[in-house]
């Protein structure tokens, strides 16, 4: 499987220097138990200093394995990676001192208070007591938990725990922050709060690498994203440029009637239609000229008569890219006219 064409030429985030801070070279990881699975397969890519970089892909695509290799939690089976020039296999200790990691699962001690948790990590990371106290006060403020510092973590909501976990990863002022699904399972307000926190940190020059299943999150937050599927990076680039590359127009979605092979061909015949894609009972039509296509479509399919909602055109989103890229791979690369 090849990387999405042209994606490599992405210039990187416009407002930041293009210095590579993370470089993965042919990074591969094979799990042996219970059966051999190549979770990450020959992945080569770079992340630039100061950008927010998103790793996207379906469950089991290899995001977390790649994330864990980059954060020195797992060792590669082949290939390697460099974080700020340090090898993940040779110098994990140096890397661990310059990165902050927020794992998918909580690593906070539920029996300790928020303050004690931060203090514990601060001391593990060798921060002096005076520095630590000031830092903890700052971090609790950033996470909006100043009034809850003395409460045990077990009394916190998931959103509060997540916010604390992110600032915890940041206690030693790391240059790179790794966040594995930072907003998973959180309500919209908590997600907004975490995005604000990530942007604030990024504003101070911190490179952020995150994985997420929320495409709106990736589109809003990330300077660049990489799509992973079955252990490989299938596309990489700025969210909007990926959308533009894959969908060179607007999308019209039509419920797909049964036995519609003929219909697909007819729709494709409509002038102005760039591509037609049938998936999951839905016909996805890409066009640059919806005003021309829609009347023709209505003529072809009598929507009102069939009790269907009249179709409208909408701009494509990163979610469409996700479905198109990873769905295609799953079906063994399908129809892309």
Which chain residues interact with another protein by CB under 8 A?
Answer: 31-33, 68, 71-75, 92-94, 96-97, 99-101, 103, 105-110, 121, 124-125, 169
Q: With respect to another protein, which residue has the nearer C-beta, 125 or 300?
A: 125
Give 253's contacts (C-beta < 8 A, 6+ positions apart): 282, 283, 284, 285, 311, 314
Q: Looking at beta carbons only, is 101 or 318 nearer to another protein?
A: 101
- To another protein, the closest distance from the beta carbon of 91 in angstroms equals 10
CB atoms under 10 Å from CB of 134, counted, come to: 11
Instruction: Dig out the tokens for 76 from the structure.
Output: 């590669």
Q: How far apart are CA 294 and CA 291, in angstroms?
A: 6
Minimum Å gap between C-beta 255 and another protein is 39
Q: CB of 97: closest distance to another protein in angstroms?
A: 5
Of the two residues 121 and 227, which places its CB atom closer to another protein in the complex?
A: 121
Residue carrying the six token digits 């797992």? 74
What's the closest the beta carbon of residue 214 comes to another protein, in angstroms? 22
Pairing type for strands 37-48 and 20-31 reads antiparallel
Q: Which is nearer to another protein, 33 or 262 (CB)?
A: 33
> Rounded to whole angstroms, how far apart are CA atoms 279 and 328?
10
Residue with the two structure tokens 């906070």: 108
Q: What are phi and psi of 39, to 5 degrees?
A: -80, -40
> Based on CB atoms, which residue is closest to another protein, 45 or 178?
178
Helix (H, G, I), strand (E, B) or coil at 153: helix
**Residue among 72 and 326 whose Cβ is closer to another protein:** 72
Minimum Å gap between C-beta 180 and another protein is 10
Alpha helix locations (H) across 8-157?
63-70, 92-98, 114-124, 129-142
As measured in angstroms, the least distance from the Cβ of 74 to another protein is 6
């Amino acid at each position: 499987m090849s990387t999405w064409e042209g994606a490599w030429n992405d210039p990187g985030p416009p407002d930041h220097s293009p210095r590579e801070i993370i470089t993965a070279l042919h990074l591969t990881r094979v799990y042996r138990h219970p059966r051999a699975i190549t979770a990450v397969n020959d992945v080569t890519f770079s992340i630039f200093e100061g950008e927010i970089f998103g790793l996207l892909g379906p469950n089991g695509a290899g995001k977390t394995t790649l994330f864990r290799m980059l954060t020195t939690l797992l060792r590669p089976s082949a290939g390697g990676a460099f974080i700020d020039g340090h090898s993940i296999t040779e110098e994990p200790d140096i890397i661990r001192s310059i990165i902050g990691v927020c794992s998918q699962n909580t690593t906070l001690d539920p029996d300790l208070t928020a303050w004690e948790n931060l203090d514990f990590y601060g001391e593990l990371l060798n921060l002096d007591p005076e520095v630590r106290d000031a830092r903890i006060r700052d971090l609790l403020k950033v996470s909006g938990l100043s009034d809850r510092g003395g409460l045990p973590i077990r009394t916190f909501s998931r959103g509060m725990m997540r916010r604390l976990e992110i600032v915890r990863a940041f206690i030693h002022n790391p240059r790179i922050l790794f966040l594995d699904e930072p907003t998973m399972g959180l309500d919209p307000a908590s997600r907004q709060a975490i995005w604000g926190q990530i942007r604030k940190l990024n504003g101070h020059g911190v490179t952020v690498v995150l994985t997420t299943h929320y495409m709106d999150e990736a589109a809003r937050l990330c300077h660049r994203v990489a799509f992973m599927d079955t252990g490989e990076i299938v596309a990489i680039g700025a969210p909007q440029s990926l959308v533009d590359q894959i969908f060179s127009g607007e999308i019209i979605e039509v419920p797909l009637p049964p036995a519609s092979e003929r219909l697909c061909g007819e729709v494709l015949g409509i002038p102005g239609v760039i591509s037609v894609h049938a998936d999951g009972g839905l016909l996805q039509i890409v066009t640059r000229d919806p005003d021309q296509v829609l009347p023709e479509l209505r003529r072809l399919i009598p929507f009102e008569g069939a009790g269907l909602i009249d179709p409208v055109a909408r701009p494509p989103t990163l979610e469409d890219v996700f479905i198109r890229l990873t769905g295609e791979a799953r079906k063994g690369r399908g129809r892309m006219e």
